[in-house]
Copies of this chain bind each other. A is one copy, B any other.
Amino acid sequence: MAQKVTPRSEDYARWYTDVVQMAELADYAPVRGCMVIRPYGYALWENIQQALDRRFKATGHQNAYFPLFIPMSFIQKESEHVEGFSPQLAVVTHGGGEKLEEPLAVRPTSETIINAMFAKWVRSYRDLPLLINQWCNVVRWELRTRLFLRTTEFLWQEGHTAHATEQEAREETLRMLEVYRDFAENDAAIPVICGRKSESEKFAGAVESYSIEAMMGNGWALQAGTSHFLGQNFARAFGTQFLNERNELEYVWQTSWGVSTRMIGAVVMVHGDDQGLVLPPRLAPYQAVIVPIWKTGEERRTVLEMAGRVRDMLPNLRLRLDDREGLTPGFKFNDWEMRGVPARIEVGPKDVANNSVALARRDMPGKAGKSFVPQDGLAERLRALFDDIQASLYQQAENFQRANIREVNTYDELKEATQDGWALAPIADDPAVDAQLKDELQVTNRNFPFDQPDGEWRCVVTGRPVRERALVGKAY
């Protein structure tokens, strides 16, 4: 029997951990708070990286690499930044057998070290905009960890840009948020709500932070990407100045933005079901698995030969031919279902005779998702099937999200709505309000969505008049 995950409906947290471990996406490392990303999970991350990197390059960004270690004095230069990150730092105090004169922080994010370089590279307006991205590991000390969602070390990309004007930097901030939305919705099939972070939830050192928020299968929120308008905060701290066209020295205007391996957690929790993982075809390491079915030795030979031919017919798809010996087809069906492969191609003795295959889709279990089709035109059929699965996963997630967002106008309604979904509530942008919601209801202000109804309401906490509704919910 293939391993079975704890049903989602029974214990969501346990289901999540089961899926991540049994599908071999990741494993706990024997290092506090750290994880190992296993090949199947890393292949998913590589597909996420490619989908994002393509978009970054298309919007004029270049990749670079900055040091892992940041002198503590750099972290301390921007006052909000040091306050936000100090409690989370891992600190190197010894190198080469000796105590260091100045301890080094392992980067929790790279605004400071990057500004130290930008200050050296930027001379005049001709050097701007400077549009840089970095793929790397970062470390933030965490007490309670969850695979992919919250680990001491994680992988991410961090974009860092410098501009001559405030307007350009503000445009860049929103452009990259839009890149994230486009990626999340079109490649990960995850509908997201774009909006502005509240004062208390914004990035330590930013003027404004923006996020895309995704609804997980249990109605909780997960921040799947952030983009920050940094103003001139870091530029002032590091002296990142340029000569403008009038030959005057000015501080640059900056942005930073990031998406991390958390995105894998989002894919698991948005699409997964009681059987395990369900992967969108655009990101799936294997878009389809070919399972050969035979009884006799002669059938084995002809079926395996045909299965190989079917694989070779489909050179531009990501396929896996499961020719493992000693496992029944039923075991393989369950195994690949648990691992979320979007489609299964079955090849049996009848298919050898008829030049056909059986097709089953992961997102429609049972007979509804099964069809018997000729091998002729299989590539086109699969491509259409993948488009359909991709769209259908998105639609399902969007329906779920819509069904679980409620506009509320009182504190009690907010409490009720956030039991298993999101509330759109009039909320003052006030750290005291955010803190009260967290303490009393264990919910957070996710963001103030860009898409706002016109009107004025009373904050459900303070009663003060406000012009915006916030998205509020439990969150990872």
Contact = CB atoms under 8 A, between A and B. Distances in A.
Contact of A116 (B30, B63, B152): B30
A178 interface: no
A67 B138 CA distance: 11
A155 to B, nearest CB: 6
A71 B141 contact: no
B92 A63 contact: no
B62 A43 contact: yes
A27 interface: yes
Contacts of A120: 27
Best-surrounded residue of A91, A113, A116 (most CB of chain B within 10 A): A91
A143 B96 contact: yes
Interface string A103-123: 110100000010011001100
A65 B39 CA distance: 8
Interface stretch (A81-89, A206-214, A438-446): A81-89
A46 interface: yes
Given A30-B71, A70-B31, A90 B87 contact: no
A294 interface: no
Best-surrounded residue of A86, A96, A113, A155 (most CB of chain B within 10 A): A96
Interface string A435-463: 00000000000000000000000000000
A49 to B, nearest CB: 11
Interface in A316-335: none
A29 B117 contact: yes
A127 to B, nearest CB: 12
Contacts of A62: 39, 42-43
Contacts of A38: 64
Contacts of A68: 34, 68, 106, 137, 139, 153
Interface string A186-210: 0000000000000000000000000
B91 A29 contact: no
Given A39-B132, A62-B39, A95-B141, A153 B87 contact: no
Nearest to A88: B96
A92 B36 CA distance: 19
A257 to B, nearest CB: 17
A69 interface: yes
A383 interface: no
B39 A63 contact: yes
A64 B91 contact: no
A37 interface: yes
A87 B92 contact: no
Contacts of A464: none
B70 A117 contact: no
Contacts of A104: 31, 90
Interface in A128-149: 132, 136-137, 139, 141-143
A290 interface: no
A153 B42 contact: no
Interface string A21-42: 0000001011110111111001
26 contacts: A29-B66, A29-B113, A29-B116, A30-B113, A31-B69, A34-B68, A36-B65, A38-B64, A39-B63, A39-B64, A42-B63, A68-B137, A69-B139, A69-B152, A69-B153, A86-B97, A87-B97, A89-B95, A90-B96, A90-B104, A91-B93, A92-B93, A96-B141, A97-B141, A106-B106, A136-B137
Interface of A: 27, 29-32, 34-39, 42-43, 45-46, 62-71, 74, 86-97, 103-104, 106, 113, 116-117, 120-121, 132, 136-137, 139, 141-143, 152-153, 155
